[in-house]
Structure 1
């Protein structure tokens, strides 16, 4: 049995152990391969998969770093490792790993670097990489995803006019995506295009009814369109579904109830705000209005 065939046989055996849940034996085989045949990359890839399943990727990170010190120009390993780091939210390390190549050499690098910088909220740098990617790649799926990322970046930069422009380029692709519709509604809200915001926020709620942020946004939109009953309903839905809340929600509920002449309920919401923020002037003013209305 030649050496390459023997190594493939060992990797296959390790995968069989992995499929049976016997990770220890699989790790032992793969680690032995790496120690004795450090250039054999298949063992690194499979070991990385196991470490990820076990919730501890640090050993694989060390193995990949050691490998790339010896073979820095191996594009396959560097791309795999960069994606692996991104997937496991190690964005700074991903940037360091992927920056070895120029984006012009490997266009996918620009996309991945853009994604890493976006996750770090380095929006301006992320924007440069995605625009660079779009000038060098014709892949339809990744181009659409890049425009989606640019849409999100412009929102992050509060450039809502530009965000709306990007949204038009991908609306047909992402029309059934809840996040796209949520962000589109948010864009319209910030452009004071309140009526336009209703359709996408309602679609987002239908597509992902468990996402609490949608109801908070819907409440704000309906408040702006003077549909106060719908605003109240959505703010309450937010309270039902959110893991955490903030005084602004109770303030919004209080103001909605004032508009609906539900003064007792409004007062309760303003008091809830004041328990958290005793100096909140909007809540103090709202509570006083509610008290005066109850006395009439």
Structure 2
């Protein structure tokens, strides 16, 4: 009696979505097929498992649990197209079924279906966030996905909630500042990063980010230099930090030091922004030929960069004109 009770409880749990309108005979067949399918799957006998789960699904086609088991067996057999259809069917019956969404993510990743993978990943994160809004990790994944999709308002909205609920979560606050800066909301970014540094004066990313932003704005340049140098003490070879310091010196009209640090930066991190900064310094040092070289190097890394294209065109023509002017006059001998 005790054994049969445990058996009944187990089946009622794993087949919780099974229709109770089934007759006793069909219910018995359903349980039998499910357990056989499960046993065959664990033994690696996937064809037999497929047959049993298929039989169980035909008895009760509304069971999402059985359809998911069936889909995973199909994946084991390399029948990804059929597995995809099963997972999609489950989603149509139960949009919040994260197991079905994960199955589709695996299939699209395995088959290299990048567009579908990206779409399903977003769907999964949105549903997971809806079901578990208190789970900070899921919230962050979703916000970063929105950032990747250039949905900055959504990313900011989620991180504002995280920071509100977890005011001591410094990394979340730093990233909120980063998203503000990407959005062009520099005053908000400055405010947030100052709060980060108030909590943790040695936060290396915030030191660099705020120092660089001050340089971009042409404000607080002494403080900016101090901040970036503090970041470099923690990570002396970091190309991004060296670039920041070089750019601070550029804004202070100290072009020799700017060139010195930007050349160090390019050794540690090939980046179109650093090449553009180097080109700008060379222009100030009246070395237009070298500037064009650096702008072209930046374009190789970012061929669609319009600012670099304009600078290559402008200073390339200027360089050619200088070369023409420097050529000796040709004298005609009679």
Deviation for aligned residue 1:167 = 0.5
Counterpart of 2:290? 233
Deviations 1:69-127 (A, max 9, x none): 55543434323322332344321111222333444625143223222212212111122
**Within the alignment, does 1:221 sit opposite 2:281 as a pair?**
yes
Does structure 2 retain, via aligned residues, the 8 Å contact 1:216–1:235? Answer: no
- Cα distance change, pair 31–251 in 1 and its aligned pair in 2 (3 A): same
- Cα distance change, pair 234–44 in 1 and its aligned pair in 2 (3 A): same
Structure 1 CA distance, aligned partners of 2:132 and 2:229?
44
Counterpart of 2:214? 154
Counterpart of 1:114? 177
Deviation for aligned residue 1:185 = 1.6
Structure 1 CA distance, aligned partners of 2:279 and 2:120?
47
What is the count of residue pairs matched by the alignment? 256
Q: Gaps (5+ residues) in structure 1?
A: 258-263, 269-289
Question: Which structure has the larger Rg over C-alpha atoms?
Answer: 2
TM-score (norm 2): 0.58
Structure 1 CA distance, aligned partners of 2:234 and 2:249?
19
Counterpart of 1:286? none
Does structure 1 retain, via aligned residues, the 8 Å contact 2:208–2:244? Answer: no
Structure 1 CA distance, aligned partners of 2:187 and 2:108?
34
Question: Cα RMSD between the aligned structures?
Answer: 4.5
1:204 to 258, 265, 280: 265
Does structure 2 retain, via aligned residues, the 8 Å contact 1:103–1:109? Answer: no
Counterpart of 1:275? none
Structure 2 CA distance, aligned partners of 1:128 and 1:16?
53
The 5 Å alignment of 1:22-33 reads: 22=80, 25=83, 28-29=86-87, 32=90
Structure 1 CA distance, aligned partners of 2:328 and 2:292?
23
Q: Gaps (5+ residues) in structure 2?
A: 1-9, 16-37, 39-64
Query: 3-state DSSP class of the match of 2:141?
Result: helix
Structure 2 CA distance, aligned partners of 1:34 and 1:133?
44
TM-score (norm 1): 0.64
- Cα distance change, pair 104–130 in 1 and its aligned pair in 2 (3 A): farther
Structure 2 CA distance, aligned partners of 1:237 and 1:122?
30
Structure 1 CA distance, aligned partners of 2:217 and 2:79?
46
Structure 2 CA distance, aligned partners of 1:232 and 1:193?
20
**Within the alignment, does 1:131 sit opposite 2:194 as a pair?**
yes
Counterpart of 1:176? 237
Counterpart of 1:272? none
- Cα distance change, pair 236–101 in 1 and its aligned pair in 2 (3 A): closer
Structure 1 CA distance, aligned partners of 2:259 and 2:144?
37
